[in-house]
Amino acid sequence: MLKYHLRLHFVIWLSSLVPLVVNQIDLSATEIVFYRTSMAVVFLAIWLLLIKKFKWTGKKTYFLMGTGILTFAYWTLIVLSAKLANEAVCLIGLATIPLFISILRPILGKGTLSVGEIITGLNAIFGIYIIYSSDFDYGLGFFLALLAAFFGALVTIFNAELVKKEDSLVITFYQMLGASITAFLLLLFSTFWGGVISDFIPVKWSLTLRDFVLIFSLALGVSVYAYSESVRLMKFLNPFTVAMVGNLVPLYGIVSVIILSYLFNSVETSKMDIYFYAGGIILVSAVVARPLVIWYFEVYDVSENIKNKTNQ
């Protein structure tokens, strides 16, 4: 059992390195997402053919590719946030994904809002308020990270329903395909008819060996391996454990960023004041505590119902 826990933590740590890696690639956010998703599509297509799971899902295919647009928005905003701000700011913004999931699930009719989610959500909002009360220079980058978290929450909610009916690799393939097509069309528009848009998306249509290696690592290590491995580990670990460890992504990422910043001087930590770190600690703590708080209130509600039935 220990080896499954260690593998899960490795997958979570791997996912937390995305903002750090993309910040080292000398391409626009849209280009990075285009190359990353295209590589993932090619690999997944070959793999699905080899294991004989490649299939056309009928009308559902278009819906899956449509959710790929959300994936494109999610990943593009992560890259923009990391480039406009830095890795730590991006990761702390992404820590709000569970908060957005708690808010969006009842709105989309996929669940109800619990007391535990309300409490942890309020703590997360308080942390965001403190961050914006600080005098740091990354307001736009942090906002884009929050926007990325919004789209990430939508992708998570839809995938939770889709995976009940379709193979996870098939879902991933069509979502990557949808994201790749979206990125390509945006790049094409920016290149020939962009006007002002081209100033924000400086398309190079070039890929150095260094950039190729970094993007290929993202495509294979995160887009394909990390996702499929996390799904496979659910056969051996209960969903609560997977969800709780998954909430450690911001914490793992920030620790990795701090260590690497001292080794390679890659993060501009001097521009972030004490209020930013205080708000970040509150926000990340709320995210880490969220599963425990929700679990406590669910157990409390169940025990109260049992007690009431016994008294009757």
Rounded to two decimals, what is the model's pTM? 0.79
Q: What is the pLDDT of residue 27?
A: 85
Q: What is the average pLDDT across 248-276?
A: 64
More confident residue, 84 or 260: 84
pLDDT at 235: 62
Give the percent of the chain with pLDDT over 90: 14
**Closest to 26 in 3D by CA, of 183, 213, 196:** 213
CB 31 within 8 A of CB 243: no
Q: Residue 135 has what pLDDT?
A: 58
Q: How far apart are CA 27 and CA 207, in angstroms?
A: 8
Instruction: Measure the CA–CA gap between 98 and 37, rounded to whole angstroms.
Output: 24
pLDDT classification of 287: cutoffs 50, 70, 90: low
CA-wise closest residue to 31 among 233, 150, 186: 186
Residue 145 has which token pair?
Answer: 């990270």
- State the pLDDT confidence band at 153, using cuts at 50, 70 and 90: confident
User: Which residues are CB-contacts of 19 (< 8 A; sequence separation ≥ 6)?
Assistant: 78, 81, 82, 87, 90, 91, 94, 253, 257
Res. 38 pLDDT band, cuts 50 70 90: very high
pLDDT band at 3, cuts 50/70/90?
Answer: confident
Is the model more confident about 154 or about 110? 154
pLDDT given for residue 102 in this prediction: 76
Give the separation between CA 54 and CA 156, rounded to whole angstroms: 23
Phi/psi for 278 (5° steps) reads -65, -45
| Under 8 Å between Cβ of 32 and 74 | no
d(CA 222, CA 154): 19
Residue range 220-257, pLDDT digits in tens: 888 788 877 776 676 676 555 565 566 677 677 777 76
Residue 198: count other Cβ atoms within 10 Å of its Cβ: 14
Give the number of other CB atoms < 10 A from CB of residue 142: 22
Tens-digit pLDDT profile for residues 193-221: 655 454 455 666 678 888 899 999 988 88
Distances (CA, A) of 74 to 191, 212, 258: 22, 21, 24
Answer whether residue 306 shows pLDDT above 70: no
